[in-house]
Structure 1
């Protein structure tokens, strides 16, 4: 039985978050035989079959700026390594040490442990920040292209050649082009991004977002 946890993250003064819950599917992806990694091709096949557009594989560095996507829902699959991911609050300083380990961030949110095999389904508007990645590595785009699509004549062959080192994730999107918004924006517009037809992992089953993301996505205008 797959463990599914959901987290309701309400609007803050700086980020919209979403009326739809963040979903964390724990250890839902199988590991590649004789390794602790997940097979990028298998994950690509799964997401693509369910109409989610795979855009990248990134190897993450020690931390990043908290951000959200205003035009698309995001699915992140952990392929290798471990990390912490903070959801639901904005960073309030460009100082990466202070906004990761100090107090330069909004109050609230949730910090989740991420490891190979996990999948996060992130509604448009939900702020997120990956940090404390293990093994240590430098940030890098591992898939061919510029991070907005797998730019290869044969994506399957290209992904089969990706060498997974450090903490790596595959990102897929539904609803529109992904952008990088640190704070602000038109909250109501973000909340109106349409609900996907299929869950990236469970497809047409009610087990995932189809049964847990109800309604149109619009919420009241009140801010926390």
Structure 2
């Protein structure tokens, strides 16, 4: 299975003083999986070298990860997700969409359908911490974000995906 590489959005989020975000862009693949399901998302990510970490949703509070880049595959339902922290932007996502968040980018679920389900994946060797933009989290978080290695493959496009050129 090859993901849809034609319909993508590249979104940048600057440090807002609380949420570090990242100079690397968020990549949103629209309709990356034509017939979405948890198994289809897992197969896509596995095929492209991003190990599956969980099936869940997206937390309803602003948070970020300083130790890992994160891939969110919308397997079922829809949601309004905010990226970039409280001052960020809101995106509607639906089943079949895939979002790749570089380490440090704030995200929050503002509301979702009852059946909303996400498959989460990280590049090999990475696991996520959970930070909420609380006092004292930085500068340690900034140091960990700077040390987060770039992935060797794109979770949707493998070696041919735009993540490698946009993040390279």
TM-score (norm 2): 0.87
Tell me whether 1:176 sits opposite 2:126 in the alignment.
yes
Cross-structure match for 1:159 = none
CA distance in 1, matches of 2:158, 2:103: 19
> More strand by proportion, 1 or 2?
2
1:77 to 60, 65, 73: 73
1:15/1:127 contact within 8 Å kept: yes
2:11 to 4, 7, 19: 7
Tell me whether 1:126 sits opposite 2:105 in the alignment.
yes
Indicate how the Cα distance of structure 1 residues 59 and 189 shifts in structure 2: closer, same or farther if over 3 A, else same.
Answer: closer
- Return the offset for 1:177: 1.3
Cross-structure match for 2:64 = 68
**Which segment is superposed worse, 124-133 or 50-59?**
50-59
**1:13-52 matched pairs, under 5 angstroms:** 13-31=17-35, 38-52=36-50
After TM superposition, what 4+ stretches of structure 1 lie above 3 angstroms from structure 2?
A: none
Cross-structure match for 2:155 = 200
1:18/1:191 contact within 8 Å kept: no
CA distance in 2, matches of 1:180, 1:81: 24
**SS in structure 2 of the partner of residue 21 of structure 1:** strand
**Which segment is superposed worse, 7-16 or 181-190?**
181-190
- Return the offset for 1:5: 0.4
Which has the larger Rg?
A: 1
- Return the offset for 1:192: 2.6
Give structure 1 stretches of 5+ with no counterpart: 32-37, 90-104, 136-165, 215-224
- Return the offset for 1:42: 2.3
TM-score (norm 1): 0.67
CA distance in 1, matches of 2:108, 2:55: 16
- Return the offset for 1:59: 4.4
For this pair of structures, how many residues does the alignment match? 158
2:66/2:131 contact within 8 Å kept: yes
2:54 to 40, 53, 56: 56
**SS in structure 2 of the partner of residue 19 of structure 1:** strand
1:116 to 95, 98, 104: 95
2:37/2:76 contact within 8 Å kept: no
